Chains A and B, each alone.
Chain A
Amino acid sequence: MERERLWRALREGAQNAVRTILVLAKVMVPATLLVTFLELSGLLPQLAKRFAPAMALLGLPGEAAIALVAGNLSSMYAGVGAMAALELTVKQRLILAAMLMLSHSLPQEGAIVLQAGGRALQVVGVRILTALATGIVLNMFF
């Protein structure tokens, strides 16, 4: 590959990385702060108790519900930020990662689907169900 193209690739790649990290930081830092605050103030443990029975099906602690809610309603990066503030085992991280990757940013991404003429509700419904099923299956067999 000529030097010019290699140089272009280096520049583009680095720019993309900076852009991604900035987007990530903008969402992740506030999400991590919020979850840390909720944890330290004792609100999250209380909230977690309510979610614990449902989350047990997914092999996740009740606290992880906040990562799922943030990831699905806001952006996946918010879910990642919440995850960074929680103490989780590798298995729990994998389950949460799978669920967050399969289903996230539903309002924004649903709008894109709608714009492109797809059935947004159906797509969103399938994503939520796939994420739940994947979490349950991973919890049982992993």
Chain B
Amino acid sequence: MKLGLTSDAMRLVIPALSMTVLLAAVFWLQPRAMSYFGLNLLLNLAVPIALATIAQMLVMAVNDLDLSIGAFVSFVACVTATFLRDAPLVGTLILAGAVGIYALIGVVIYLRNLPSIVVTLGMSFVWAGLAVLMLPAPGGQAPDWVRWLMTVKPPLMPMAIVASIVIAIVAHLIVMRSSLGVLIRGVGGNQRSVERAGWSIIAARAAAYGLAGVFAVAAGIALVGLTTSADANIALRYTLLSIAGVILGGGEFTGGRVSPIGAVIGALTLTLAGSFLSFLRISPDWQIGAQGAILIIVLALRLVFNRVEKRRAQP
């Protein structure tokens, strides 16, 4: 720790650096993006991705993986565009019930010792089916308050950036500063010692999954606020994007090592990478590959960094 940074802060260096580099590259390619209006256009679709990434991060904090998040966000989007607008009470109840189911899944996975990947993959079909039932044909309309929230023009900074900062701070307070957050990360780090210390693992896992459900619901609502109406397949891409976002932001698959601020930065980076490639006019055949290359470069940088860190830690 010669740099005088905590390991949490070190974890953020690479994500922050890669985001800055990409942002600079985007500004260089497209100077028009360097404005209030431009930044909002560039980043507003990153807001629901950031929320979904935080949800994924909470599940990953307890060493699980959620493959249903894309379908769940789509489902929430469909509820938001139908019930939450026409019958706010029913809509709220449905969403609360969905969060409850999320917590329940966390408990079932732990109690029956099931692989989370399989359970959540199964749940993804359930959510997708429910979404189609709710909205057989694309349509619906965003509630006015949601639309207002996502198109509001705050002074100084565009909505996308204000929202990202708020999400990062809230998630940071919950995961890094609250005792519940410590417990959730503890379960991911060493479940047995947390158990021996007298904590309820069931409660911790239920809380982690429930919180993930809350953030995923927020992601769905935010997404409909941006698109104005829903589609049962609207967010299927979010499953992999959210996992990539967590990893890009300095999180790890095991050990309860996660970073909420990093996760938000990871989500922004992924969005910027897409715009960067589109401004570069890379042919679509190469775009997925190029996106993968950006991911691999960032991860390789992190490995190098980790090694340097380790060497420093040793006397």
Q: Do A and B come from one complex?
A: no
